[in-house]
Amino acid sequence: MATVFVNYRTGDGEDAAAHIDDDLSRRFGSRHVFFAAKSIGLGTRFPERLDSALHTCKVLLCVIGERWSTSTDRSGQRLIDRSDDWVRREIATALRRGVIVIPVLRRETRLSKEELPEDIADIAELQYQRLFTRSWRRDMAELADRIAAAVPELRPTPGLPLLGTFPAVPDQAWQCGMEVAIGGRPYLLVEPVEDTPSSDRRWVARSASAESLEPLSISFSLRQLRILRPCPAGEARRDALVAEGELLRSLAGKPGIPRLHELIDTPTEASLVFQRPALPSLADLYGPTETRLPLFLLGRCLRLIASLCTTLVPLHQRGHGHRDLAPTSILLLAEEERSGLRDLGLATLPITAGEGRPDYRAPEQRRGSTADRSQSPQIDVYQIAAITYHILTGHTYSPDRSPPVRIITPELPTTLEELLCAALHVDPRNRPRNAQALGAHLNTVISELDRGDSR
């Protein structure tokens, strides 16, 4: 007789539910935990088996992810609104029987009664347990302890660890032309596709461009960190990708910031999906080339760089920096003289030696271990200045060898040269402190150009 019933929605938490079953089964014994995929045998009539388990369990865990209450059927109706929805039926039965129902939140926001059918609306007011990938062991241990306290007859199974780690995960490398499912949605992978396993083969990092297959063909960028065997390095990378998705969510609606489409967070996988607009990049229009930028293009180019600074302001206000800026990562938006970001770059990763594009790498990125992450905005300032120098002169910037910009292009304003020299200073403390400050100085230079005052 199962004591704990694990309730979940397919496409929104089944992986987490499976790991909850694994951990609780290790602690209390498999016979005390009902998980449909494990507990219903082949050829068994599942309605009767589910009904039997619901009438004998003492605790129902309701695993709730981002799409738990918004998933729809083919007609567009919310699944939770259907009377034949098994997730709803299981919860309603448990509530009627007086079973202890614990919402297990795999998302930041709680449920509200207004978004739920009347027969299960009470779960919005029940004490819940958060269960996040980044703190899985701690959260899972707390959940197991609370279940044990609520059901005293549950005892740890002798000879088994209280909380185990998840097993090795079957895996298939991403390839161009391959169809993958993320969050229950199918995507067709297109170039470029990168599939990079760790040296010990314990985790693999992936990125790809993709086209959605339903309901409409839309272009996306996909990023994934999949843990094949537990290891601290893989978990740190997974947590960083989840943090990037949460950062994108916090920046929703900010001009020039990629639009988050999907964030999947399980113990073995973090997947991030964001829209990839079909827009030209700064490189498509301004290079850099091997020659100097024609002066008649200077004003528009500087306005696009100043617009990039504006785009970066909310990121810098949150203490992050892109740290991987390049002409190809800067998009030209449909609005006149506006620019945005293709992605968030290295924003949620710790600074490591050798990170960033070689042509635009800040001196502190070469040192890595001595760099403070609070310097991330100043790294962006350096990279913006290095990109600007490259476009204006046709030469990459080197702190040791490159002359001031007016040595190569004497017609440029003195104030622009002074600004670039400050922004390219080897000591980040001597640069403009963030993109907002750099943008303000650039706008002053642009105003001088508009007045015809280039000193």
CATH number of the domain that residue 27 is part of: 3.40.50.10140
Which of 275, 301, 324 is the last residue before a domain boundary? 275
Which of 150, 165, 197 is the last residue before a domain boundary? 150
pLDDT at 134: 67
pLDDT at 23: 87
pLDDT at 230: 76
pLDDT at 42: 80
Is 168 a domain residue? no
Is 171 a domain residue? no
Same domain, 259 and 311: no
Is 193 a domain residue? yes
Is 98 a domain residue? yes
pLDDT at 164: 46
Is 163 a domain residue? no
Domain span at 141: 4-150
Same domain, 229 and 356: no
**Residues in the chain where the model's pLDDT stays below 70:** 1, 134, 156-170, 214-217, 335-336, 368-371, 453-455
**Short-list 164, 148, 119, 160, CA closest to 59:** 148
Residues 6+ apart with CB under 8 A from 152: none
- Cα-Cα-Cα-Cα dihedral sign, residues 140, 146, 149, 153: negative
Is 215 a domain residue? yes
CATH number of the domain that residue 261 is part of: 3.30.200.20
The tally of domains found in the chain comes to: 3
Same domain, 338 and 254: no
Same domain, 139 and 240: no
Same domain, 258 and 394: no
pLDDT at 215: 57
The helix or strand, by DSSP H or E, that contains position 364, with its residue range, turns out to be: helix 363-367
Same domain, 144 and 215: no
Is 158 a domain residue? no
Give the tokens for residue 309. 């600074």
Same domain, 269 and 377: no
Could you give the CA distance from residue 417 to residue 414 in angstroms, rounded to a whole number?
5
Same domain, 217 and 347: no
Which of 227, 260, 275 is the last residue before a domain boundary? 275
Same domain, 244 and 391: no
Same domain, 419 and 312: yes
Same domain, 233 and 336: no
List pLDDT tens digits, range 386-431. 999 999 999 999 999 999 999 999 999 999 999 999 999 999 999 9
Could you give the CA distance from residue 450 to residue 455 in angstroms, rounded to a whole number?
13
Could you give the CA distance from residue 352 to residue 365 in angstroms, rounded to a whole number?
7
Is 320 a domain residue? yes
Same domain, 208 and 63: no
pLDDT at 19: 87
Task: Decide: residue 225, CB within 10 A, 0-12 exposed, 13-18 middle, 19+ buried.
Answer: buried
